[in-house]
């Protein structure tokens, strides 16, 4: 049996951890994102140069990760709101969590081609 | 619990004799009951407002951010189409200017308040909390100002 002192909660705790980690990640991305967008006030060339890095295969994978973080945070955020405001929310929190996970998987599968397709064409040739 | 149990009650002899209608037991205030003697809260309802803001902004952000991702990463060829000309086309419309402005303010304030909670949770020394929050608020204010300025002063003919 584990001897550590780490509290191992159930699904509710892990969804909370994931909500926190994704929220912080998105926030840090947003700082960088407002800075890169601000380059449109510097010159079109500088903006286009930086945006070109957004189109490379490696960054495409990061974008897929960002989409994963946002979709989870958004769906689970709606679940948290339902738990707080819907009279039966707390009773169905677990079912709602699995709904969140299910919808998330479907949306992530749907995002593969639009987000990663261009990267695959670069890496494997079209 | 058995109803046929006949052993003595769990309550021991009551101090001050037995109470009855003429000799009522002293009234004991319910725990945490607010009375005239309770000190007034000096913090107002800030935490409650912040809690509510997280939920209201969250609902609006679902539409704004997922719509934004759809436009930038999925529709019309995904990221490949993005460039100065694309941004110029979008910000020619007040609709997308307002969309981006609202998204900027709500996401920054929502994220800032979220990070405030995280700092409160993990930074144990009062001094550390003070510095981290100072840094957080400074970065947030500057980023909101920069993003707002960029939307309002965008010039498609900069070159
Ligand atoms: C990798 C994914 C993303 C791409 C490719 C992208 C692309 C862009 C582009 C091209 C603009 C310029 C204006 C426009 O076309 O509307 C912009 C602005 C903006 N984006 Fe994104 N975006 C992404 C993700 C996000 C996310 C996740 C958020 C929110 C958390 C966000 C928030 C914003 C904001 C607030 C602005 C306005 C910036 C300003 O005021 O200067 N974006 N984005
Ligand atoms: C897309 C729609 C979004 C929804 C529905 C949403 C919902 C929520 C909710 C309800 C909370 C409060 C959780 C609680 O009190 O336990 C929260 C926390 C948080 N959100 Fe969001 N949010 C969204 C977008 C964002 C964005 C764009 C960012 C980053 C800029 C962000 C960053 C955070 C952070 C850092 C926290 C604090 C996490 C914690 O205390 O554990 N969220 N979100």
Which of B48, B67, B78, B146 to probe by mutation at the A interface, max A CB count within 10 Å? B78
pLDDT tens for each residue of A54-75: 999 999 999 999 999 999 999 9
Section B134-148 average pLDDT: 97
Q: What is the DSSP string of B35-65?
A: -TTSPPPSSTTHHHHHHHHHHHHHHHHHHHH
Q: At B84, is the secondary structure helix, strand, or coil?
A: helix
Question: What is the nearest CA distance from B102 to chain A, expressed in angstroms?
Answer: 13
Contact flag A47-B74 (C-beta cutoff 8 Å)? no
In a domain, A83, yes or no: yes
pLDDT at B94 (0 to 100) = 95
* Residue A57 CA to ligand 1 centre (angstroms): 19
Distance (Å) of CA B62 to CA A17, A88, A94, A104, B20: 20, 22, 21, 14, 62
Q: In A38-73, which positions are buried (b, 16+ CB within 10 angstroms) versus exposed (e)?
A: ebbeeebeebbeebeebbeeeebeebbebbbbbbbb
Q: What ipTM does the predicted assembly reach?
A: 0.89
Section A79-90 average pLDDT: 94
Domain count within chain A: 1
Which atom from ligand 2 is nearest to the alpha carbon of A26?
Answer: 29
Flag whether residue A88 sits within 8 Å of chain B, measured between CB atoms: no
Residues 6+ apart with CB under 8 A from B110: B53, B54, B57, B58, B61
Torsions phi, psi for B2 (to 5 deg): -85, 140
pLDDT tens for each residue of B90-139: 999 999 999 999 999 999 999 999 999 999 999 989 999 999 999 999 99
Structure tokens at B45: 């309802």
CATH of the domain at A50: 1.20.1300.10
In a domain, A91, yes or no: yes
pLDDT at B16 (0 to 100) = 61
Residues 6+ apart with CB under 8 A from A96: A79, A82, A83, A89
The domain in which residue A117 lies consists of: 13-124
In a domain, A27, yes or no: yes
CATH of region B49-153: 1.20.1300.10
Query: Which of these, B107, B56, B103, lies nearest to A26 by C-alpha position?
Result: B107
Task: Write out the residue limits of the CATH 1.20.1300.10 domain(s) in chain B.
Answer: 49-153
The burial of B45, by beta-carbon neighbours within 10 Å (0-12 exposed, 13-18 middle, 19 or more buried), is given as exposed
Nearest CA in chain B to A19: B114
Report whether B154 contacts A40 (CB < 8 A).
yes
In this prediction, residue A112 has a pLDDT band, given cuts at 50, 70 and 90, of very high
């Amino acid at each position: 049996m584990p001897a550590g002192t780490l509290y191992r909660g159930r699904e509710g705790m892990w969804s909370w951890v994931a909500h926190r980690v994704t929220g912080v990640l998105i926030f840090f991305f947003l700082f960088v994102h407002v800075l890169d967008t601000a380059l449109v006030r510097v010159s079109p060339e500088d903006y286009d140069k930086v945006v070109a890095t957004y189109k490379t295969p490696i960054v495409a994978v990061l974008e897929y990760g960002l989409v994963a973080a946002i979709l989870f945070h958004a769906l689970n955020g709606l679940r948290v709101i339902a738990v707080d405001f819907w009279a039966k929310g707390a009773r169905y929190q677990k079912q709602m969590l699995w709904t969140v996970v299910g919808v998330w998987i479907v949306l992530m599968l749907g995002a593969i081609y639009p987000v990663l397709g261009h990267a695959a064409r670069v890496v494997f040739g079209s | 619990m058995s109803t046929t149990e006949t052993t003595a009650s769990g309550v021991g002899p009551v101090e001050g004799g037995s109470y009855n209608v003429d000799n009522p037991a002293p009234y004991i205030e319910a725990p945490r009951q607010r009375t005239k003697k309770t000190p007034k809260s000096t913090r107002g309802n800030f935490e409650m407002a912040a809690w509510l803001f997280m939920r209201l902004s969250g609902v609006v952000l679902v539409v704004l951010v997922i719509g934004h991702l759809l436009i930038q990463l999925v529709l019309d060829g995904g990221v490949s189409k993005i460039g100065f000309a694309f941004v110029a086309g979008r910000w020619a419309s007040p609709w997308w200017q307002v969309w981006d402005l609202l998204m900027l303010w709500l996401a920054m304030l929502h994220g800032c308040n979220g990070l405030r909670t995280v700092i409160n949770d993990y930074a144990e020394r009062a001094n550390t909390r003070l510095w981290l929050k100072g840094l957080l608020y400074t970065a947030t204010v500057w980023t909101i100002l920069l993003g707002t300025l960029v939307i309002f002063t965008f010039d498609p003919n900069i070159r």
